[in-house]
Structures are given as C-alpha cells and as structure tokens.
Amino acid sequence: MILTRWGQSVSIIAGEGLLARERAIKRVDMKLKKLLLAKPRGFCAGVDRAIDVVHMALELFQAPIYVRREIVHNKHVIESLAAKGAVFVDQIDQVPEGAVVIFSAHGVSPEVRARAQAKDLRVIDATCPLVTKVHMEAVRFARERRSIILVGHAGHDEIVGTMGEAPECTQLVSSVEEAEKVQVADPERVAVTTQTTLGVDDTREIIEVLRRRFPKLVSPASDDICYATQNRQSAVKLLAKEAEVILVLGSDNSSNSRRLREVAEMSGARAYLIEDAWKIDPGWFEKVQCVGITAGASAPEHLVQDVVAYFKGLGVEQVEEIESVEERVTFNPPPELARAMTNRQTVE
C-alpha cells in the first residue's frame, strides 16, 4: 500500500476526492451540452524539441542528466522527466564538474554559458530557436549602439536570458504605462524586441506607444511573438464566440498559458487556468451549456483528454474541435546532441 505522511492510502484519498466532487456536482444546476476543443493547442515545436532533448540525453548519457531551470513551464512534464532521471537545478553552481547539463527552452544569458564552460560541463542547448532569434536581435541592436526596449514580464526566465545579452543598454517594459515613461539616451536610436510568449493584443498596444514616442524605432524584420503563441490565442478567440466558460490547461508559471486565460476573458468568456482535471470546480458550470478547452504550449495533450473524460463522465456527448490554423512547424535537435547521436551510431 502506498501511504501518505498522514498514513492514509492514495486510493482512499482519491475515493474521498471523487465523492466530494460528486456531491458538489449534485448541488449544481448542470445544463452542459457541448465541449469545444481549440486547435491548435498544447505542445509547440519548441516544447516538443526541448522535451525530446531531455529524453535523448538520458538515452545517450544515462542518468543523472542535469537541467538548468524547468525545461518547460509545466509541473506534469517536470515530474515525469524527473522520474526518469533528469535533475532540475536553479543554478549552474549546483551541477557537478564535468557533468551533462541542458539549458531550458527559455534560453540563458552569456554569463550562464561562461559559468558552464568554467566548470567543464557538457552543454546541450535546448533553447527554442525562436528565443535564440530574439537573443541575436538584442546582440545586433547593441552592436549598432541602440537603446534596446525589451517588452516582457520581469523575472521570466526568457527575459532574464535576453537581457543578459546586452544589460548595459536594455530596459524592460511590461505595460503601456511603462512605455509612456521609459527614457533612452538617444530617442533617434532605439530598438524594440519582445518576449516570445506575450499576449498579441497587449504587445501591439505597447509597441504603438513606443512608435509614437520614438518615430525612428527599429524593430525586428519578423514578429518576435512566436507562431504558437499567436495561433493558440487566435484559437481561443474562436472558442469564446460560443463557449461561456473556457478552461486553459497549464501551470501558473507558464506565461503563454496565463495569456490564453487573459485572451479568453477579454473575448467575453469566463476563463480558468488549471493544472489538470482535479482542479475543476463544478460550480463554474452552473447553467452553462458550452465549455471550451485549450492548453498552453507547454501542457501535454493527455491533460486535455483527462478533462474531456471528466465531462463525458457527466454525460456530455457532443465534443467538437475548432481549428484556426494548421501547424506544421518542426525544429531539429541541437547540433551538439545530433553529433553525439551520430557518433554513437558510428560506434555501434
């Protein structure tokens, strides 16, 4: 028997949870008839790649494999990889000398890379290629001696890494209010770049303010907000045209998942960000006839299917997908991992 620290079996606790949920459902005037599933939803190409990197590294080098920060921002993914031998650390100093370390999908600063080199670590860089693009833009703008305005959320791993490329000339702006107040050395030599997981509409408003204040503002040739973020937000807007309540599968520290909830709310639906089906409150659906379901770019599909199963258990039979765009983007493994795989195949 598996015991908790209180001496109760997991099965007993699960049974009590189900009983409490059944009682709550009986108290709700449930009129739910339809589920709408957003498509695309869940894993993007960068997340798929990052998770595959950890799996391949565990196969090539054996556990433990160290990962600096969460490889992607999802509790279920992290717990699954940790069970297979991945060791997640906050700082490079926690990694033994000479060990294998993976940089997360959110990227790292040059300072982190230097520390890894000083410890003779075998580095595998799982940074999303779209995040790498933003880093390269920051480096280019700094070389052009421009003041860089980075639009994003303070403390997010991606922002910390990008700002580290040119800290002496980069300022963070997180809102329209901050965009109205930010000061630069030369108003005619200003560039802007953004975090890849922001809300499209909010970011547009911020950049419009910056363009008004700095008419010669330079921006990247293509949008920094990644295709997956934009596609998932577009899909949520379609859901909100019919769904009264929208559930977003994702962890609270996932920026793109939080933005999906905000977009759903701004589009007129009530929205809730949940880790999994166990976080559902039946009270949310009183007199609700249609519920929409989506998932952040770091949330696995099985979490969505668990939620669908939950509603089917309540008697909901009508389940439809609404597709806003077809995604075909894929990314190759990091070159250092591809070389290791080739070398292994040669030896075998």
Domain ranges of the chain: 29-43+227-323, 45-127, 130-213
- Whole-number average pLDDT of the chain: 92
Architecture of the CATH domain 29-43+227-323: 3-Layer(aba) Sandwich (3.40)
Label the pairing between strands 147-151 and 190-194.
parallel
Report the pLDDT averaged over residues 43-69. Answer: 97
Is the whole-model pTM more than 0.75? yes
Fold match, 29-43+227-323 / 45-127: no
Name the band, by pLDDT with cuts 50, 70 and 90, for residue 14.
Answer: very low
In the CATH scheme, what is the code of domain 45-127?
3.40.50.11270
Question: CB pairs under 8 A, 24+ apart, for 268-271?
Answer: 268/240, 269/239, 269/240, 269/243, 269/244, 269/245, 270/244, 270/245, 270/246, 271/245, 271/246, 271/247
Residue 157 token pair: 């791993």
Q: What is the pLDDT of residues 66-99, one digit of tens each?
A: 999 999 999 999 999 999 999 999 999 999 999 9
Instruction: Let me know: does 282 contact 24? Beta carbons within 8 Å.
Output: yes
Residue of higher predicted confidence among 28 and 312: 312
Name the band, by pLDDT with cuts 50, 70 and 90, for residue 345.
Answer: confident
Name the band, by pLDDT with cuts 50, 70 and 90, for residue 301.
Answer: very high
Residue 18 pLDDT > 70: no
Instruction: Decide if 317 is catalytic.
Output: no
Residue 23 pLDDT > 80: no
φ/ψ (deg, to 5) at 18: -65, -40
Q: What is the pLDDT of residues 203-261, one digit of tens each?
A: 999 999 999 999 999 999 888 999 999 999 999 999 999 999 999 999 999 999 999 99
Q: What is the pLDDT of residue 24?
A: 60
Which fold, 130-213? Cobalt-precorrin-4 Transmethylase; domain 1 (3.40.1010)
| Alpha-carbon gap, residue 33 to 22, rounded angstroms | 18
Q: Catalytic one among 59, 79, 111, 158? A: 158
Q: What is the pLDDT of residue 272?
A: 98
